[in-house]
Structure 1
Amino acid sequence: MNDPHQKRESDKYDNPIPSREYILEYIAKQPHSFYDLCDALEVTGKQKKPLTHRLKAMVRDRQLNMNREGMYDIFDTERDIVVGTINANPKGFGFVVLDEGGKDLRLSAYQMKQVFHGDRVKVRMLDQRGDSEIIEVLKSLKTVVGRLHINSEKSWIVVDDRRICNNIIISEISDDNKNEQIVIVEIAEAPTLKELAKGKIIQILGDYMDEGVETEAALYRNGIPVDFSEEALAQTEHLPTEVTAQDKQDRVDITDMKLVTIDGEDSRDFDDAVYAEPTSNGWKLVVAIADVSHYVEEGTALDMDAIERGNSVYFPRRVVPMLPEAISNGLCSINPDVERLCMTCEMNIDSEGNLIDYKFYSAVMFSHARLTYTKVGKILEDHDPVLTQEYASVMGNLNALYDLYKALKDARTRRGVMDFDRIETQILFDDKGKISNIVATSRNDAHKLIEECMLMANQATAKYLAKNDEDFLYRIHPKPTAEKVEVTRQFLTAVGLTLEGGEQPETKHFAKVLENAKGRDDENIIKTVVLRTMKQAVYTPANEGHFGLAFEDYTHFTSPIRRYPDLLVHRAIKRVLAKKTRKPSKRMVELGAELSVTERRADEATRDVEKWLKCEYMRDKVGETFNGIISGVMGFGIFIELTDVYTEGMISIRDMKDDYYAFDDIHHKLKGERTGKTFQLGDTIKVQVASVNLDDRQMVFIPST
């Protein structure tokens, strides 16, 4: 090694490594990898780790660049700079999701001081592990929602989105501002490594504990539109309030068919009506869906607003509709005893529950009864004589539907469909808008009957449009990854269950596990673990099948009032009927991605509000004791789902002071080294509520003595 600065390095270090000057001189000739440098500079043994640190420091000090292949080159401000979007973690660090794809780059908590979640940035990689630094913020967040804090010295905002750890200084407050208000803030000065962001309050949503303020905050934080455009509202005003004679032209009249709607007690928008009758070899099933596409035409202001929303959003005490209520709850809602326009899917199904054939047609219909799941359950399962007499005119339809459902249920079992009929919860409110209780809800045969009818119609629709090579979106559910399958298999083995099927088990193999778990104390936990194994269903024009339902062809057809993909499907059906088919387009690819995002956005917003409300409910229960089931085990603690009030919290391993607990990730358990005591997924446990943090939507438990 002919390093001219070797003596200086030898004086400083016991194991001298090449000087920065010599490294720069060598790399200036051509880029080198770490191992190339070790060979060329005769670096061996204990010198390699110090050289790694020196190279990293030279990248940090902008003497060298390192690309994603691990090649070092002389620093150039424009070389190896990549662009991406900040994905922040509530613990302070973050990642950069690169526009060009590939593995995300990492940002330290220090680097994250200068950006918000969602910001667009230029970054460069510091080392081959993916650590990076921000070169430039290209686009920063403009507004945030958060809680105002005021004291004698300063005012600041704690941002409601927990992925944003940076507080925002408020330099001016008005007489209308009060401590603990939930406000919208406009960012006046972006944060830097040394200074917090500065902002200005532009809107007050309400006081911290006001009724509905948590929903307002979630809507704003997730960018969910609430108000319709003036153009869309004007277009709505020009629509008729009832079906006109002109609307009925060229439609099949099925008003005499004993179609009924079956929905929840509090439903207001009715998408679908059903009818069945026996045939010589099975049943004829008719699913009539509100013809939203007749009133919401492609490219109009109403259509643009619907695309922006993507779907209706359902909160515990509020609905943000995809379409104005005059349409969703009025003109297009299949209300009883009024004519409505519909798109009809008529199917023949054999005695084994198999789809034989199908056809589609535009029709005008009449709902002969507005039924609820509760009433239909009492009629079909309990044979309630009073309700049976009250709905005598449609009993022929209900009995045929029930017989058909039993055949479809058997076919579902033969297909090996997973049964995720988990315990769901409903939040109940008192007259003052405060939570009075959190109760479990269950599905009866009426729920399942409607579900099976909709599944058949969705499947028939996908086959029909695929056959005609139309431009529409499939609803696909990809297979789970081999890595997730292996983790789940290890857990199942630990609790005495077997997942068959090798590296790529089929739906039926997971279904068998769920069937074997029925009746166990940890049944709900097993369902949760299997559910977490699955990928998320998405919208795309490329058909990959639906793994969860075990369907080769599947789409969404049955809810055009509240889901935009269904509206696209209705338009595609009409193009086929009019013999004006449209080939698959690039725009449909874009819409699939956009609508998958709006769906996730709605899910995140509703989950967040539910967490907030459940935490609010538990605030005055600090110190009380509850029964629970361990729903998750990690190295830092255990998650507990309370069995009495259906909420979840965590016991930190720091609060398990009776022993030192080691984490067994294979068996999903913590085990005490001295006592041998275990905390395992699915175990029952008694806990005490230690604290409730509304800002973080978190409850902290401690083991009950």
Structure 2
Amino acid sequence: MNDTPRKPVPFPTKKQILDFIKDAPGQVGKREIARAFALKGPAKIQLKKVLKELELDGKLGRGRQRSLATPDTLPDVTVLEITGIDTDGELLARPLSWQGKDQPPKIYVSQSGGRTAYGLRDRVLCRMRKISAKEYEAQVIRQISEAPSRVLGIYQDGGEGGRLIPTDRRAKSEFIIARENAMDAESGELVLCEPLPGRVFGLKPAKVVERLGDTNQPKAVSLVCIHAHDIPTEFTEEAVAQAENAKAVPLGKRVDLRNIPLVTIDGADARDFDDAVFAEPDNDPKNAGGWHIIVAIADVSHYVRGGDDLDRCAYERGNSVYFPDRVVPMLPEALSNGWCSLVPHEDRGCVAVHMWIDADGHLLGHKFVRGLMRSHARFTYEQVQMARDGQTDETTAPLMEKVINPLYGAFESFLRYREERHVLELDVPERKMSFDENGKVASIDKRERLDSHKLIEEFMITANVAAAEALEAKRQPCMYRVHDAPGLDKMEALRQFLGSLDIKLAKGQSPSPKIFNRILKQVEDTDQNTMVNTVVLRSQSQAEYNPENIGHFGLALHRYAHFTSPIRRYSDLLVHRALIRGYGLGEGGLEEGGRDFADMGEHLSKTERRAAAAERDAMDRYTTLFLADRVGASFGARINGVTRFGLFVTLDETGADGLVPIRSLPQDYYDHDEQLHMLVGKRSGFTFRLGERVEAKLVEADTITGGMVFQLVLSPEDVAKAAKLGRGGNDKRGPRKGHRKTPKHKRRSR
């Protein structure tokens, strides 16, 4: 008799189970798997658990006879993940895990039966019905889970597993990742993870769901921001094919504008050119000193039709997103840099508006046409400005009299109208980054604001006004760009703040750009200029897209709609389609019974804010990388934010922002005055105020989260005062006799 104990049968891995199901002929269930791997007793219970996990992960689905299938085909019942909605309001989903050779089929989720609304990345168990070769309809059986919170971070290998160091500075702690949940990620790699249930104490577990690449690659920073803010980056195969199969626009019934010397004026690093301009004196004797101008915009509506694959992708994005080192475009490159880019000396389809203005810049009339144009030159802002200032080159010299001088002539008329209506004139500098050949930040400078920038801005503003007026006249729906006046609460807070600077603002006064400009003029060329501009900016409402017109407060305009950039803003594409339908300009117009404009306006406002947040995040992270090797250095700075937990400062040299924690300030109890934007030391009298000039020492630059921590460099007198205060210990006796009581709007901080 052989007494040697039998070796236990090793339990199969998930990959082995999936491979068996995929390769096995006929139907496969739990019984067949257990028999194939000789699983008995407790192992069969474990198998049931593993199969359930594979189902929840979307790697398995069940058919009618409860047989299992791998996800290169969709079973009758499967787990889906909600991915968004299309322009018709249809809810879209994808199989939770798709391993087929081709792209997964398009899945429309039925929302009939009064079921609840589902959010992005929610997981639902659905019954599937095939409606075409690449389309399914899914009926929800039940919701399995809400969208799992995803964490972006750096994976650090630890032998038996690893850790995730989150890139979001708001994350409270790191995560632990078991080896089997790491997807073979390498140390230092950027990964996207989902937290797992478990562990009350210690680090929480997580699993890697996507590997994003080496953090040392030049574009890793913008990649972090793309994923942190859920910016869509992948176009469907159908959308890419549609863009790549596009062809040149024929003249047909279009107006031939090719002999008009339209030119584009953009930044030196611009890759797409979607607007061209032209101006000439108006030959009508009744409009002495007036101008005839043309703004021609790429005809995106010719290529992107409502409800097609390109349209669905563009609507999901809402807009292009511009990072310092890359662009995430709203449309595929074949269109954005190809047929919808007004490259010089090539025929391009356009939607153009003829406008007539008087000598003082008032818009007298306009006419929209669908045309075929040919840009006569591609200029940069700097190039045009130098030419205007007398330094022409071989490109600008031949076009000075016929093109550039008339453009500036019309611009001067626009400036008179701008001054007349009192446009809000805030002085808020922007930053510009340049990169070396290795993709690293070489410099960060203040972006120069030239008259050539303002010229294009005024031409575009006037075209946008004309578009809104035209749609109203044609009784077409319009997606307005609206900007409400500041609320009464913000005006009162601003009034109290300005009062502390001896700047008067009458109580209850209705806000107007003219009033704000008067205030800004008072502090121009003073140490208070930056502070007051910042506070006035923060008092403003946020602009948004809305089919209900309330005007544009900042531009002092009664009606305004974005028309000039359909290549990078979906709102402009809607305006183009409405104009095409209203003027009867052919195919590609707005369709009857389309999606509700109010819903679309809300969606587009959200995508715009999402893009702005991602762009700011990228600037901050690149700036932190740029300054990381200068920890310990001191910089000239201004206080740009005052909170109960510390100060935010902006460096003069780079525009970088960072935190001065309240614990690093001279030891004291500090009153936080929200209305006057101040921290005031209760015993020392130290005062830290918004806009105040300071010297800040960089003490920490976290290149993973992009956060920077500073410490104020105090004068010798303040250092001595702080030392004396520190020797006195903590004063816990409360306010001294005669000390005024802290108002309710103030909060005390240590």
TM-score (ref. length: structure 1): 0.76
Tell me the equivalent position of 2:280: 277
Q: Is the 8 A contact 2:435 2:442 kept in 1?
A: yes
User: 1:331–1:536: structure 2 CA closer, same or farther, 3 Å change rule?
Assistant: same
User: 1:258–1:119: structure 2 CA closer, same or farther, 3 Å change rule?
Assistant: closer
User: 1:407–1:199: structure 2 CA closer, same or farther, 3 Å change rule?
Assistant: same
Aligned with 2:222: secondary structure?
Answer: helix
Tell me the equivalent position of 1:609: 618
Tell me the equivalent position of 1:147: 154
Return the match for 1:344 from 345, 349, 352: 352
Q: Find out whether 1:704 has 2:713 as its counterpart.
A: yes
Q: Find out whether 1:467 has 2:473 as its counterpart.
A: yes
Tell me the equivalent position of 1:263: 266
Q: CA deviation at 1:642?
A: 0.8
Q: Is the 8 A contact 2:528 2:691 kept in 1?
A: yes
Tell me the equivalent position of 2:676: 667
Tell me the equivalent position of 2:331: 323
Tell me the equivalent position of 2:380: 372
Q: Find out whether 1:522 has 2:528 as its counterpart.
A: yes
Within 5 A, what are the aligned runs for 1:1-400? 139-141=146-148, 143-151=150-158, 155-165=162-172, 167-172=174-179, 176-187=184-195, 189-190=196-197, 198-240=205-247, 242-243=248-249, 247-279=250-282, 280=285, 281=287, 282-380=290-388, 382-384=389-391, 386-387=392-393, 390-400=396-406
Q: Whole-Å Cα distance in 2 between the matches of residues 119 and 164 of structure 1?
A: 21
Q: Partner amino acid for 2:163?
A: W
Q: Partner amino acid for 2:300?
A: V
Aligned with 2:582: secondary structure?
Answer: helix
Q: Whole-Å Cα distance in 1 between the matches of residues 226 and 183 of structure 2?
A: 26
Q: CA deviation at 1:603?
A: 0.9
Aligned with 1:227: secondary structure?
Answer: coil
User: 1:658–1:582: structure 2 CA closer, same or farther, 3 Å change rule?
Assistant: same
Aligned with 1:420: secondary structure?
Answer: coil
Q: Is the 8 A contact 1:119 1:137 kept in 2?
A: no
Q: Whole-Å Cα distance in 1 between the matches of residues 432 and 325 of structure 2?
A: 11
Tell me the equivalent position of 1:630: 639
- Number of residue-to-residue matches in the alignment: 568
The runs of 5 or more residues in structure 1 that have no matched partner are: 1-116, 122-135
User: 1:198–1:673: structure 2 CA closer, same or farther, 3 Å change rule?
Assistant: closer
Q: Whole-Å Cα distance in 1 between the matches of residues 689 and 488 of structure 2?
A: 24
Q: Is the 8 A contact 2:160 2:178 kept in 1?
A: no
Q: Is the 8 A contact 1:418 1:514 kept in 2?
A: no
Q: Find out whether 1:554 has 2:554 as its counterpart.
A: no
Aligned with 1:387: secondary structure?
Answer: coil
The runs of 5 or more residues in structure 2 that have no matched partner are: 1-118, 124-142, 715-750
Q: Whole-Å Cα distance in 1 between the matches of residues 581 and 396 of structure 2?
A: 41
User: 1:180–1:495: structure 2 CA closer, same or farther, 3 Å change rule?
Assistant: farther
Q: CA deviation at 1:453?
A: 0.4
Q: CA deviation at 1:629?
A: 1.1
Q: Whole-Å Cα distance in 2 between the matches of residues 470 and 194 of structure 1?
A: 60
Q: Is the 8 A contact 1:309 1:598 kept in 2?
A: yes
Return the match for 1:600 from 605, 609, 619: 609
Q: CA deviation at 1:396?
A: 2.5
User: 1:311–1:176: structure 2 CA closer, same or farther, 3 Å change rule?
Assistant: same
Q: CA deviation at 1:467?
A: 2.0
Tell me the equivalent position of 1:426: 432
Q: Whole-Å Cα distance in 1 between the matches of residues 590 and 711 of structure 2?
A: 62
Q: Find out whether 1:491 has 2:497 as its counterpart.
A: yes
Tell me the equivalent position of 1:454: 460
Q: Whole-Å Cα distance in 2 between the matches of residues 508 and 258 of structure 1?
A: 38
Q: Whole-Å Cα distance in 1 between the matches of residues 363 and 199 of structure 2?
A: 62
Residue range with higher mean Cα deviation, 418-427 or 153-162:
153-162
Q: Partner amino acid for 2:479?
A: L
Q: Find out whether 1:506 has 2:512 as its counterpart.
A: yes
Q: Is the 8 A contact 1:288 1:345 kept in 2?
A: yes
Q: Is the 8 A contact 2:377 2:395 kept in 1?
A: no
Deviations 1:90-127 (A, max 9, x none): xxxxxxxxxxxxxxxxxxxxxxxxxxx99989xxxxxx
Aligned with 2:327: secondary structure?
Answer: strand
Q: Partner amino acid for 1:332?
A: C
Q: CA deviation at 1:194?
A: 6.6
Deviations 1:114-166 (A, max 9, x none): xxx99989xxxxxxxxxxxxxx9951326432222344675332333445546
User: 1:298–1:192: structure 2 CA closer, same or farther, 3 Å change rule?
Assistant: farther
Q: Partner amino acid for 2:367?
A: K
Q: Percent identity?
A: 39
User: 1:673–1:164: structure 2 CA closer, same or farther, 3 Å change rule?
Assistant: closer
Q: Is the 8 A contact 1:471 1:584 kept in 2?
A: no
User: 1:167–1:472: structure 2 CA closer, same or farther, 3 Å change rule?
Assistant: farther
User: 1:672–1:559: structure 2 CA closer, same or farther, 3 Å change rule?
Assistant: same
RMSD over aligned CA atoms reads: 2.6
Q: Is the 8 A contact 1:471 1:583 kept in 2?
A: no
Q: Whole-Å Cα distance in 1 between the matches of residues 270 and 321 of structure 2?
A: 13
User: 1:235–1:376: structure 2 CA closer, same or farther, 3 Å change rule?
Assistant: same
Q: Is the 8 A contact 2:169 2:707 kept in 1?
A: no
Aligned with 1:447: secondary structure?
Answer: helix
Aligned with 2:499: secondary structure?
Answer: helix
Deviations 1:491-534 (A, max 9, x none): 22223333458353122212222233322233233222111111
Deviations 1:26-45 (A, max 9, x none): xxxxxxxxxxxxxxxxxxxx
Q: Whole-Å Cα distance in 2 between the matches of residues 529 and 140 of structure 1?
A: 38
Tell me the equivalent position of 2:717: none
Q: Whole-Å Cα distance in 1 between the matches of residues 252 and 433 of structure 2?
A: 45
Q: Is the 8 A contact 1:471 1:585 kept in 2?
A: no
Tell me the equivalent position of 2:82: none
Q: Whole-Å Cα distance in 2 between the matches of residues 676 and 511 of structure 1?
A: 34
Return the match for 2:650 from 641, 644, 647: 641
Aligned with 2:596: secondary structure?
Answer: helix
User: 1:472–1:166: structure 2 CA closer, same or farther, 3 Å change rule?
Assistant: farther
Q: Whole-Å Cα distance in 1 between the matches of residues 170 and 666 of structure 2?
A: 30
Q: Partner amino acid for 1:315?
A: F
User: 1:609–1:416: structure 2 CA closer, same or farther, 3 Å change rule?
Assistant: same
Q: CA deviation at 1:195?
A: 8.3
Q: Whole-Å Cα distance in 2 between the matches of residues 149 and 252 of structure 1?
A: 61
Q: Whole-Å Cα distance in 2 between the matches of residues 569 and 501 of structure 1?
A: 40
